[in-house]
């Protein structure tokens, strides 16, 4: 489906949405955890690239996909889902960093049976998920549950263990680590080179500011605040500032609203809390008086035409300078890795001029065999879902490396899967998108209560029902679980359509048949009376999955019938009404079978009569079946 193609982690969106529609939350989580270990986290902080590709946009609005993931996660305790049977392997793997990239790699490597140890310098596990995202967006309890679940897979996590200080990469290798994944994140804020930026008393980089708040070291932020940047981190910092007591927050950005990295929902939230956002404004100087920050000198900007990459630059407009008062400035204009843990020579690893580790773009292996890197340490600050994709990909190639397989040396282009989605019916009704309830503004600044409130279960199912299922089979594999004969398997799901050319002596066409429409006959009054049904319709009445759960009822009033008549050869052996001179062959035995089953379902008092020209019981022992129906079951012929 297009939503799956848009997801960096290739998550089966359609599959878990269909499970939510049915209220099968555990099955939804099982589908999600095929591709990532953080359903609750990403149900809150994912930037939703899938929703931009949702074909529901061709009708009205995209499905609220992220919210449905959150609904499923909030209904399931991960500790109650059994850990799959894992064949243990001897090889040891070390993961440096317990953020989304590191923990995702650990999860998939543990599923492969490898002995995985994660090393984290901070007191608690989670990386930027814990120390970079505030509680009102991602409650610590949600993150804690998902990390505890990972430990059930045999993953060992060592906190307060700084690589380069407590352990070195060389020591990890000596202790038996056959492969190492560097997922240390990007913990240094980029410097703008502004006068006054070095004044740490009233100036903070967002990564430092958020870390201090999450560690409990900063509990107040009074006065006026200016935030540089309008990305996700800038929006978070603004909301945190208000919760710590800020009098006002002004956000400035040299670009336009169209270039804003954060989404419109985040913008609406911070503005509702009192923030003012100024586009086309760039800081020029942080003003210091008597050793304190008193404000920011700014200028208006204009944008250049897009370059070959589609990006625009900003140019300050001369004479447009103005001043914004501030007691504290928070810079949220980007992050870079802190590679000091690698030592002076970066442990022999190649590093780019931008201070990122250089890796094979496909395998994420560095220039040193067996050492891989991914996440923010190679890209700079990105999203949780992008880090998850990096961890998943690293685990794939680390496993190949450990098995001694040859790794590709360059990026592997994946052939496009096409856009052969199912057609959207022209009569698809317009339906309003789910409105996610949020915490009232007046309750937000008093603490860090989660801003996104629970969604009513029935509304969530209704929202999931808006999915067009445009990808066809949603690959939930519920049929694989249900088929005890193993006729349907994951392997059969993966089979592709083939066109074969074969030499034969003759061809027999057996394309099947369709039910004859008896409404053309006035004789039977099929269109006039609901109790006149076709054999296929009566088959549905008898079925346990049919409208009456197998209980024999009249469609007109839902009462049990006392007599049922079968009229044979309607639509066949008739050259006067329909020009069908042939015999359909199956109808005689079909009627006998239905009559017998009807009597079994309704009891022996039901009078079943079959009206026929001649009984054509083709096949071995079919005549005996006819005789048993007549002599033992009491079916009248």
**What is the mean predicted confidence (pLDDT) over 207-220?**
94
Please give the residue that has the higher pLDDT: either 578 or 589. Answer: 589
The DSSP bridge partners found for residue 299 are 282
Q: How confident is the model at residue 415 (pLDDT cuts 50, 70, 90)?
A: low
CATH 3.20.20.70, applies to 2-81+422-464: no
Tens of pLDDT, residue by residue over 24-73, are 999 999 999 999 999 999 999 999 999 999 999 999 999 999 999 999 99
> Would you give the distance in Å from CA 101 to the centre of its chain?
16
Are the C-beta atoms of residues 192 and 228 closer than 8 Å to each other? yes
pLDDT given at position 577: 76
CATH H-level, domain 191-333: superfamily: FAD/NAD(P)-binding domain (3.50.50.60)
Token pair 């960093």 is found at 97
Distance CA 104, CA 618 (A): 61
In the chain, where the domains are located: 2-81+422-464, 92-187+337-402, 191-333, 518-631
Mean of the pLDDT values across residues 452-460? 95
d(CA 228, CA 210): 14
CA gap 150, 148 in Å, rounded = 5
Is residue 144 very low, low, confident or very high in pLDDT (cuts 50, 70, 90)? very high
38-52: pLDDT as tens digits: 999 999 999 999 999
**pLDDT tens profile 229-271:** 999 999 999 999 999 999 999 999 999 999 999 988 899 999 9
Q: Which fold has domain 92-187+337-402?
A: FAD/NAD(P)-binding domain (3.50.50)
Q: Which two tokens stand for residue 214?
A: 């999450």
> 2-81+422-464 and 191-333 share one CATH topology?
no
Q: What's the average model confidence in pLDDT over 79-91?
A: 94
Each residue's pLDDT tens digit, 364-414: 999 999 999 999 999 988 999 999 999 999 999 999 999 999 998 777 776
pTM of the model: 0.79
pLDDT at 575: 81
The two three-digit tokens of residue 360, written as one number:
């094979």
Q: Check pLDDT > 70 for residue 276.
A: yes
Residue 579 has pLDDT above 80, yes or no: no
């Amino acid at each position: 489906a297009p939503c799956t193609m848009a997801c960096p982690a290739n998550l089966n969106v359609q599959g878990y949405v269909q499970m939510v529609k049915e209220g099968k939350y555990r099955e939804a989580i099982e589908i999600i955890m095929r591709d990532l270990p953080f359903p609750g986290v990403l149900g809150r902080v994912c930037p939703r690239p899938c929703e931009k590709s949702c074909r529901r946009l061709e009708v009205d609005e995209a499905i609220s996909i992220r919210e449905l993931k959150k609904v499923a996660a909030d209904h399931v305790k991960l500790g109650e889902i059994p850990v799959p049977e894992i064949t243990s392997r001897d090889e040891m793997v070390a993961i440096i960093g317990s953020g989304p990239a590191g923990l995702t790699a650990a999860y998939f490597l543990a599923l492969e049976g490898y002995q995985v140890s994660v090393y984290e310098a901070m007191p608690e596990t989670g990386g930027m998920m814990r120390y970079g995202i505030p509680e009102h967006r991602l409650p610590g309890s949600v993150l804690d549950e998902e990390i505890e679940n990972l430990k059930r897979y045999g993953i060992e996590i060592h906190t307060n263990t700084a690589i380069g200080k407590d352990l070195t990469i060389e020591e990890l290798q000596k202790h038996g680590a056959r492969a190492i994944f560097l997922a240390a994140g990007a913990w240094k804020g980029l410097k703008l080179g502004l006068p006054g930026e070095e004044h740490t008393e009233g100036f903070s980089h967002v990564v430092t500011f958020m870390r201090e708040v999450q560690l409990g070291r900063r509990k107040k932020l009074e006065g006026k605040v200016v935030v540089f940047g309008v990305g996700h981190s800038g929006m978070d910092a603004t909301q945190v500032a208000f919760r710590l007591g800020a009098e006002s927050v002004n956000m400035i950005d040299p670009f336009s609203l169209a270039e804003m990295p954060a989404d419109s929902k985040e913008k609406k939230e911070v503005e509702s809390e009192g923030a003012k956002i100024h586009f086309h404004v760039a800081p020029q100087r942080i003003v210091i008086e008597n050793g304190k920050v008193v404000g920011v000198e700014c200028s208006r900007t204009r944008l250049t035409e897009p370059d070959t990459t589609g990006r625009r630059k900003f140019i300050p407009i001369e004479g447009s300078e103005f001043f914004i008062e501030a007691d504290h400035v928070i810079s949220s204009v980007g992050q870079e890795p802190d590679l000091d843990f690698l030592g002076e020579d970066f442990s022999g690893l190649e590093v780019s001029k931008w201070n990122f580790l250089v890796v094979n773009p496909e395998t994420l292996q560095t220039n040193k065999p067996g050492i891989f890197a991914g996440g923010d340490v190679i890209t700079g600050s990105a999203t949780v879902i992008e880090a998850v994709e990096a961890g998943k990909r690293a685990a794939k190639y680390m496993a190949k490396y450990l098995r001694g397989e040859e790794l590709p040396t360059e990026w592997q282009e994946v052939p496009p899967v096409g856009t052969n989605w199912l057609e959207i019916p022209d009569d698809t009704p317009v339906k309003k998108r789910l409105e996610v309830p949020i915490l009232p503004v007046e309750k937000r600044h008093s603490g860090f209560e989660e801003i996104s409130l629970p969604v009513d279960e029935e509304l969530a199912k209704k929202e999931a029902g808006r999915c067009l299922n445009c990808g066809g089979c949603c690959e939930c594999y519920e049929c694989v679980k249900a088929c005890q004969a193993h006729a349907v398997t994951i392997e059969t799901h993966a089979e592709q359509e083939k066109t074969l050319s074969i030499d034969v002596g003759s061809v027999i066409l057996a394309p099947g048949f369709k039910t004859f429409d008896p409404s053309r006959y006035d004789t039977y009054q099929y269109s006039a009376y609901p109790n006149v049904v076709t054999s296929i319709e009566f088959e549905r009445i008898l079925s346990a999955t049919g409208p009456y759960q197998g209980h024999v009822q009249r469609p007109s009033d839902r009462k049990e019938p006392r007599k049922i008549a079968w009229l044979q050869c309607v639509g066949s052996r008739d050259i006067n009404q329909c020009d069908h001179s042939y015999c359909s062959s199956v109808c005689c035995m079909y009627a006998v079978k239905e009559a017998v089953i009807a009597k079994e379902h309704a009891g022996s008092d039901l009078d079943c009569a079959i009206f026929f020209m001649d009984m054509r019981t083709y096949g071995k022992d079919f005549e005996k079946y006819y005789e048993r129906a007549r002599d033992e079951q009491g079916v009248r012929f």
